[in-house]
Each structure stands twice: as structure tokens, then as C-alpha cells.
Structure 1
Amino acid sequence: MHRFKSEVLNGLASAGLVMQTGRDVKPANPDAAQALRLFAPVLQTGRVRLVPVSFPGCPIHFCTAVVTPHNSDEQRAKNATGSFAAGGQANTKVGAAISCVGEVAERLTLCSLGHDDPRVVAVTKGEYQAELASILGFSEAQMSDLLRKRTELRCGSRGSLIDWSKLSNRFIRVSDLLNGSVARLPAFAALFGEVVLEKGLTVGVSSTVGCAVWSDLEGARERAALELAERDAVAQAWYNRLGITLVPEPVLREKISDDLRKYLSQRIRKTTICRVETDLPVHVAVAISHRGDGFAAAFGACAEWDIGSAMFGAITEMLQGEISLSAMEAAYSDPQHAQGSRIPIQLRYAREKSILDDWPLGEKSEKGACFEDKAFSLDGLLEALREKGITVWEFDATRPDLGVPCIKLFSPELCTWQPRFGKDRLFQGVVERGLRTEPEREEVFAGRSFPF
């Protein structure tokens, strides 16, 4: 058993990962033992406080964590991210804790280690540089707006276009997921806390989207690919308000356990589960809950190889979102305090807008009305990406000091929840699938920023 600080050990015990009898501490079960071996360096890296969370009568278990990186070699990352929260959910208490620590590991793994980060490589003459502008997906109008707000990004810019390659001489090496070709990307595209222009500034374009940790790289790659597909499908549905199909009640009864369905149906909040249409071979589900009038909404989305797993994942993400929303409400309950603070976008949306106006829960597209229960696979997804000419770059983000296998994926074509209106699929995808006759205008999308 690894030695942990008392604060961490107490959290592990309360979350059900370890059992304490006097001075004797041991893993709660084989799954906990495997997780503690994998995540021990993560739990020793910073101050990690695990807290189990439960809803009365809910069969799903939850766990939250508050993390403060404090190693000297993570000072830049700490400056960029400070303390952060993470969450996990599963059918068991131990599973929820493992899921939560996995999210902590994912975030810490993407923290830059500064000047000596071994994942940052020297530039090789003639090495291909992947087009970061396409990966980020800003439209020309968005780029112009960004330059107005961040004048320091004008270094090497051409008119209203930002030359991202001129902002830093620090790069990571990526490989094409489909053909293995190698290229480089600016390190700030992947790692939190990477500085640019030697001025101690950060660009703020890195994120955990398309990133996953697992016990091996193959598993991390699979989870990361599913997340890319999920974000692509949900983004097209959200901004276009199309491709959303209610899951039929017989399917819910077949795929969702009786105790979970009973819990959702008997509580005050109203829950709706939808299938989101996609042209990729995955199942994408979204779960929405609100107080009945559309306000105080929580949102969960998940892509999986089978529809049952996708729906379960979406429901648990939605419930985790309810926990986050409750925490925000408590933190910003004082009107005077709230007015003088920057209210989180999810909380502002929950208070001021109805999800029923933005997510057409009762609408069905002609093509989306047919409910398929086919099982898919990673090989099938990769083949579909290849046939569609969609590029996916892979970065092995594993931090050698943590040792948790981590994959981060980037795509110039696939959409994201963030308002990135330079992505053609966001406009053309629904047209190509016959859901509308012509693409929507960017100005319309600009008023529909994703709030969750």
C-alpha cells in the first residue's frame, strides 16, 4: 500500500477506496487496488480532497474532488489552472471514486511541466506542422475579435489571421491516427500553462476535449475518440437545433435499469433522454433535466458503441451536472455577492433561460425517427473517418512522472461544444444529412453559445 498524506488518505477512506482498521490500511477490493497502483503518483502530486456524494434514493454513486497542484515543477500550471474540481460517477461507490480520480489524472497530466517538460520536443528541420488554425476552428470574424481583445497575439499575424506558429518555439509531436504520419503542434495547443512570446502569457486554447486516461494507451485512445465523436454530434445538434430524437419508452425500459428509471420518474425534476443523430458509427445520447419549466437545467451527453451505455453515460453526466449546479447555487446565493462576481455561465443559463427554448425535445427528424440498436467499434469509427476524409491527430500526453497512460486527440474537421464557427461540419453536416436545405448563418450560431 502506497503512503499518502493524511488528507488524501482520509478522502480515499470516505470515498470507499481504502479500508482502515487501526493503523492497517488496505484497498477496499481488487478494483480499488488496481486503481491505487495506477493513480498513486497522481494522488501524491498535490492536495487531493475526495468527497463522496449521493442523492437519496438514487442508485448511482458520485464522487467529487478538489485538487491543488503544489509541486515546484508545476508552478506554471498552477498559475494557469490554480485549484480545480473534478467529478466521477458509477454504479458503485468505488467505481465513482475511481472515475473521479481518473478525471483528476487527466487534468494534471495536461499541466505543463515548464521548461524541462520532456513531452516538448525540438523542431526538426522540414518536419510537417499540423494546421493549428483549422484545429482550433475560429472563424475569420472570431479571429478578428480575438485579436482586438488579445493584442499580444498580433505577433506575426497577417491581417485578421493569427499566425499561431509564431507565438512559441515549443512544440509537441503528434501522429495521424489513420496513417501514422508525424507532425508537430505548438505545445500550448495541448498543455495547460504553456507560456508564449517569452512574456509569461498563456493563450488559453488548451482543453481536455478529446483527452482520456486509461490503464493502457489503447483504452485511452478509444475513450478519447468517443469523446471527439460525442462533441461533434452534440455541437451540430445544439447550434442547429436539429437531429434530436426522443428515446422511445420501450427502449428505455429495455436499456435502463428499473431502479434508475424509477428514481428519475418519481422525483420533482423532469428528465428527458434523447438520441442525437450523427453520420459517424457511434451512438450519442443526451439527458436533460430541469424543474419542469425548462429552467435550472442540467445536461449530460455520452457517445458509446452501444445505445444502452450511451444513455446510461448521458444520465450519469446529467446527474453530475445537477451536483455542480447545486454547488454553484450555494456559492452564488447572495444577490449582492452574485452581482459583484462573475457568475458561471451554467448558473446564469439555469437562472435566466429555459432549455425548452434551445433544445427541441419533442421534435424528430425523418431520418432520426428510426431507432437503431446496432453495436459499433473503434475500427469502424476509424474507417468512417478515413472514408470521410476527416483527419485526427494523436498526442501521447502521458507524463513520465505520473505514468498514467493519456491520449489527446485533435481534429481540423470535427466540431466542438465551444463556439468555433470556422468548422464547416457545423454548418454543412445537417445539410448533407437532409435536415435542412441550406446552412445557418454564423450570426445565428453566435447567439447560441453552449452553456454547460
Structure 2
Amino acid sequence: MKEIYLISDEFSTYPTDYGLFLLGDNSHYFIDRQYLPIANSLKSGLSASDLFGSDISIYESAVLFKKIEDLKASGIIVEHSGQRLEGVSQVRETFEGLCISESLQSSFIPVEFWREVVESSQLNGRLNVILTAKLDLSLIHLIEQSVKKPSIVIKITGKDIWVTRPFAHTERQNVEALISQISANTPFEGYLKSLGHDLYYASYKSNLDLLKENKARLVSLLNCIDLKEDIITTFCLVNTKEAKHNVNTFIRQGYDFNKESSHVELTDCFVNYKHDCGTRVQSPHSTLDTLMPLISPITGVITHLEKEELGAYSSIPVYKAAYNKPLYKNSFERPSNEAFIQGTMGKGETDIQSQVSAICETIERFSAIFKGYEIPIKSCQSKLDLYSYSYHDLAPYSEAQYRNFNTPEHSDSKRKQACRKYTDQETLWYKATSLIKKSPVYVPFTFCFSNTPFEDEKFGRWHSNGCAAGNTIEEATLQGLLELIERDAIAIWWYNKVARPAFSMDKLATTLLERCDQTLGKDFDYWLLDITNDVGVTVIAAIGREKASGKYSFGFGCHIVEEIAAQRALTELCQLIAAKEQNSCIFDRSKIDTGNYLMPHEDVLPVNKSIQFSENLKVMIEAIAKQLDTLNIEVLLLNYTRPDIPINTVKLFAPGLCHMWPQLGNPRLYQTPVKLGWLEQPLTEQTINQQGLYI
């Protein structure tokens, strides 16, 4: 009997215009439409000989065979002798104290097995047990029905068994919150629903043997469930490992998101921690303790947090994390196996610093995701009843850039920044707060929140510039402002290729320099440039040149305290160099225009730093806002702190500041070097540095 390839029965399949989606238990896979014919054949059975038909070239056959082998290695497809075996449903008899959710309607349900497990455990008679294939909203009705006994939910499909803590019939809010976060961690399913698919769950008949082998362990698992601890316990039938996943119970009582986001009043907030490259209200250790419960691929905002293995570059700790993000039917980004998850990295001199940095970067991006309870208004800009900034004001592209974005043959049309020029169409708007005028200002809704389902994204989309997380609104606001200032200084230096002075490393701690030299000294020459401009807050560029190849790498830092700015730049350089072997980047270092602007110039004087350090974060924020106001740049603050996240998140807008991504319609990009005496004449869009700084 010939060997045939089949999609594993652990996956249900969903054909779309883009390709075939495979949905499994806690996993998913996408097969691009170029492989759709072979994917459709895999559903019923495909032999190796089918790949080498007369109508397929040898090259195409080899490519398809390689794809098959990759899918086989990933467990997506399996090899069988003969015909595919169909799952057989068991009689769905229920028992007292045992309920079956709607999600199990089409699945193989070993009800008798689970009755025996429950009756053998200490939970028997004490709790109502609900069996399910998915923790979804259908569970709420079953939990509310059980008035006399709390309900415990057991997900019985797949290789991982889940067990919740007991829920009383009055805990609707807690159940909804848990289901909402689990749903956020399954964006693949949400995307399929947006396409109109009704989801079903594959038959797991093959799991019955594994269940029987682990029956005693499952009984023990139920016996050990902590009835008060807010966790989900998982048990893997394959390796018999248990894991506990924290359920986030944090909530800001009485929190009105739409009011808090648009009406922000800063308060006095004092620096209590000044070590390790920062000005914070509490130590990184304390912040980490608060945020660690948010890490879980099932119940967490953050899927994981792990240290990057950097081999020889081990002196600088690098941590990476990730979060899940949704796509919609009309999303700009096309579906792929990478489109539903976003990675982040943390920087810092110590492990704790780097961990907190990675977690906070993840949260500032996750919290920016559109949730559905944000209330915008729909209007043409010309009919708004408050002052407003348009899409172009916030992302001032040139006419040439707009043309390239909308020319399918041009490479810029494929960039995530690609958009159409806004010409007063009816779109969605949201209020931010002017820090100087203390009044609301309208900005485009799709610049405030990411991953929205709205067609307005064709005029411009959210990006993370100016986003920050902090223990307080003031802490986050200062960090967001510093990021805007850093990107502005980078853009003016890079695109105008202006000569800047060195920043002396003698001002930095010996321990930091020793660590950096351990990371860089053998293979790189490196130095610091002071690229501060008329904003008056120190911005430092750390430049590294590889001795063997001559290629350059960069790190940047910004802070009111110049030593902290330099520390941040140097640490970032070390981390980016250390991580480059593990990560690819759309910025091609080999194409850098190697001019004098990359080198320090002794005959050039640094710009005076007009903003002074204060122990009060509010004082520093207001000083920066006033300085920017003298440059005719208004600072806007959006507070998008989420009610269920124990850390604050904000986005700062400063229309008129430059972005390091090329926004070539901004007059400041060309005028500032002349104003400061760095250039005699302004450059043009054709004479500036032509390499976009997409880093």
C-alpha cells in the first residue's frame, strides 16, 4: 500500500483567497495560495508520486516536495499507509455535575472517560464540571446556570488539557475578562471569523489512548487544583508536564477609558530611582514584580520573556518578548505565519533592566491595539468643532512619496508606511490633550490605535514613535517625549549628513565601558556623537564600524541628563550588534553612504542644552513642552492606559518634529541645519541622504 501525506487530524482547515488556514489546539499554520493546489490535495491524501506528474516541472516538483517535508517536520502533515481514517463521534450522554459546552458539538467526546476521572477526584460532588474545546462566551451561560455549586472548566481537546479555577455563578465579569484575554491570544481565529468562517474543532479520537495512559495523572491534577488561586493549570498528555498560567485580575475600578484618554492633567511626580540609565519613580525590581504575572502564551498580555543567547557577545543582556496582534479582512498587512505575532526586545545594563524594558515595550504596543470600546467621532476635518491635526500634519510625506506609495510597481508601495494623501474625506477622529493649551485637540483615530478594522488606515496608520509605558502617567510621558526628540535629532543629522562633535566617553562609568569593550572591542571601532539640536535635550549617536567589513551599526539615546543619553546609545549599539546574528533587518548596512557625518569633528561645537534636570517629572515635561512651543511645535498627549493593565501607557504627538523614517514633506528637516549654522543652504529631497533610516 502506498504512503500518502495528510494534514494532521489535529487541524481543521479553512480555504481563503490568500491560502489555506490550518487551525489546531493552541497552534495554527498558514499555507500561501501558491501552494493551494497541493494543500487541497493534502486534505484528502497526496502521494509522493503525485508531486512528479507530467504537467509539473522538475524544479516545481522539488520545491513542492521540500514544502511537504517542511510541513511534515513541523507536525502539520503526517504520513499514513492507505486511506485516511475518519473520526467517530461518541454518544454525548451527560451526567449529574458534568456539562458539555457548545464548542464540543462536532468533536469526539470521551464523556465516560471524563466522568470516571471526575468521580475519582476530590472535586466529585463539590463542583460543577464543564467540558469544552474552547474557552469562549458560551461558557458563561453554563456557569451562571450552576447556582448551587461553583463551576470548573476543563478544555479536553488537543494534547494540552486545561483546568481553570472554580467560578461562582456571579463571576460573569471575571469570566468575560479571562475569555477576552484568551481570545486576544488567538488572533488567527479572530481573523477567520472576520472572513465569515464558522469555526469548528478537529476530531481528537487519536488522543484517547493518551488520555487513558494519563488517567491517574489527570485525577491527581484535579486533586491538586487550588480552588482560590487565579490560574489556569495545563497538562501535556505527551510529556506529562504541568504548567501554571496566571489569570490577570487587575482592574481599575470605575475607569472611564474615553474620558481618561482625552482629558489628561499631569501632577507632581518625583524621581525615586536614578540608577541604571533612568529617572523612574520606582526600581526596576519593583516594576518587574508587578508585570511578571502578565506573561503567558495562554492568559497573558506577553507570550514569553526569554534571554537571547548571544554567544561571545554575552556581556550585555538582551531579552526578547512578544505579543499577539489581530488582523482583519481589510487590514493592510496580508496574512502569513508571522503576521499575527510581534516580537520586542529590551535593552539595559543589567538583566532586570533589560527584562523590564522588553516587557514595557510589549505592553506599550499591546495596549495600543484597538479593543472596540474606544469611541471616536466621524467627520470631515473641516467640520470638526475643535482644533485638529490631519494625517499629513502627523506624517508629512512629500508629493513624490505619495506618488510612490500609490504606484504598485514601486517598492515603496509595499511598505507599511504606504498611504494615500488625505483630502478632507469623512474619517474617524479622537481627542488628545494639548500640554500647553490644556485643551482637547482632534487627531486621526488610526494614528491613536493600531490594528483597527477601519478603511481610514489607507490615509495613515499607527506607529510606535512617541509611545511609552511607565509606572505613572508622568513617567511614561517623559519617556515618550524623549523618544520623539531622539527621532527628530536622528533624522536631521542623518538625512542632512551634518558634521557633529564627539561626546567624551570619559564621562561614563568604567563598568559600562568595560562591558561595552568586551562586546565591541575585538571586532569594532566605536565612538559617540552629540547630535543634539535646537530642542535642547541631549541626543547621542553611538557609531560602530566593523573592522573586517567596514560596515556601520548604530545605537541612539536621549535624556535630559547627558550621561544617561550616552549610556542608552552605547547600550543599544552593543545590543543591536550582539543580536544581529539572530535577527535580520530591513535596513541594509552595506548601502550606508560613508561620509564625514559619521565621524566626530573636533572643530564643531555642541548645541547648548536648554532643558535642566529636575526631581519632578512634571517640571521636566512642561519645560520640554514650552521649549517646543517656542519652535511652533505643539505637544499632544493621548493616555491609552488600559483598565486591566497595571501600568500606564501614553502616546505623544509633536506635529512638526521629524521622524527618522523618511517623511520628506516636513520643512523642519531642511530648515533646521541652516538655522543652526550647520549648513549654508538647505538641501532638497533630491540631495539629502537617499537611504531611508528604517531601523
Query: Does TM-score exceed 0.5, indicating one fold?
Result: yes
Q: How does 1:287-306 map to 2 (within 5 A)?
A: 287-292=542-547, 295-306=550-561
* Total equivalences in the alignment: 404
Q: Deviations over 1:334-354 (max 9, x none)?
A: xxxxxxxxxx422xx13x335
Summarize the Cα distance change of 1:38–1:371 in structure 2 as closer, same or farther, 3 Å threshold. closer
Cα displacement (A) at 1:36: 4.0
Q: Aligned partner of 2:399: which letter?
A: E
Q: For residues 125-182 of structure 1, what are the alpha-carbon distances to aligned partners after superposition, in whole Å with 9 as ceiling and x for unaligned?
A: 62333233121111222223334459xxxxxxxxx982265263x3221111221121
Question: For the pair shown, which has the larger CA radius of gyration, 1 or 2?
Answer: 2
- Aligned: 1:367 with 2:605: yes
Aligned residue in 2 for 1:282: 537
Alignment of 1:36-51 (within 5 A): 36-38=289-291, 40-41=293-294, 44-46=299-301, 48-51=303-306
CA contact (8 A) 2:420 2:460 kept: no
Aligned partners of 1:441, 1:218: CA distance in 2, in Å?
38
Written as runs of structure 1 = structure 2, the 5 A alignment for 1:189-204 is 189-197=447-455
- State the alpha-carbon separation in 2 of the partners of residues 305 and 435 from structure 1: 23
Cα offset, 1:284, TM superposition = 0.6
Q: In the alignment, which residue of structure 2 is the partner of 1:232? A: 488
Distance in 2 between residues matched to 1:77 and 1:108, nearest whole Å: 18
Offset, 1:261: 4.9
Determine the structure 2 residue equivalent to 1:409.
652
Aligned to 1:136: 395
- Is 1:309 the counterpart of 2:564? The answer is yes
**What is residue 87 of structure 2 aligned with on the other side?**
none
Change (3 A) 1:359 1:180: same
1:439 match: secondary structure:
coil
Provide the residue aligned with 1:181 in structure 2: 439
2:629 is the alignment partner of 1:386: yes
1 CA distance for matches of 2:513 and 2:384? 60
In structure 1, C-alpha distance between the alignment counterparts of 2:232 and 2:525, rounded to whole Å: 42
Moved more, 83-92 or 440-449: 440-449
- CA shift, 1:47, in A, is 6.0
CA deviation map 1:2-34 (0-9, x unaligned): 64777998999xxxxxxxxxxxxxxxx985454
Which residue number in structure 1 is paired with residue 66 of structure 2? none
- Indicate if the aligned counterparts of 1:135 and 1:412 stay in contact, CA closer than 8 A: yes
Q: TM (normalized to structure 1)?
A: 0.77
Structure 2 contact 447–462 (Cα < 8 Å) conserved = yes
Render the CA deviation track for 1:242-262: whole Å, top value 9, x for unaligned: 14222235335x677352354
Instruction: Kindly state the Cα deviation for residue 58 of structure 1 after the two structures are TM-superposed.
Output: 5.0
Q: 2:359 aligns with which of 101, 117, 140?
A: 101
Q: Judging changes above 3 Å, is the alpha-carbon distance between structure 1 residues 228 and 249 closer, same or farther for their aligned structure 2 residues?
A: closer
CA offsets 1:173-207 (integer angstroms, 9 cap, x no match): 11112211212222111222123338xx6555321
| Residue aligned with 1:356, SS | coil
Query: Structure 1 residues 211 and 233 mapped into 2: Cα distance closer, same or farther (>3 Å)?
Result: same
Asked whether the equivalents of residues 2 and 40 of structure 1 are also in contact (C-alpha less than 8 Å), the reply is no
Pairing partner for 1:345 from 572, 586, 595: 586
One-letter amino acid matched to 2:601: E
Measure the CA separation in 2 of the matches of 1:197 and 1:32.
42
**Counterpart for residue 502 of structure 2:** 246
Higher relative contact order (CA 8 A, sep 6+): 1
SS of structure 2 residue aligned to 1:443: coil
Q: Any unmatched runs of 5+ in structure 2?
A: 1-228, 235-240, 247-281, 410-418, 615-619
User: Is 375-384 or 314-323 further displaced after alignment?
Assistant: 375-384
1:273 matched to 2:525? The reply is no
Using the alignment, how far apart are the partners of 1:10 and 1:361 within structure 2? 52
User: Does the residue aligned with 2:686 lie in a helix, a strand or coil?
Assistant: helix
- Aligned-residue sequence identity (percent) comes to 18
Question: 1:395 aligns to what SS in structure 2?
Answer: strand
Does the 8 Å CA contact 1:293/1:354 hold for their aligned counterparts?
Answer: no
State how far apart, in whole Å, the 1-side matches of 2:390 and 2:683 are: 26
Question: Counterpart of 1:162?
Answer: 421
- Given that 1:87 and 1:320 are in contact with CA atoms closer than 8 Å, whether structure 2 keeps it comes out as no
Cα deviation code 1:68-118 (max 9, x no counterpart): 347x99x979978521110112232122111111111011111112xx232
Closer/same/farther in 2, CA of residues 129 and 245 from structure 1, 3 Å limit: same
For structure 1, the residue ranges without an aligned partner over 5 or more in a row are 13-28, 151-159, 330-343
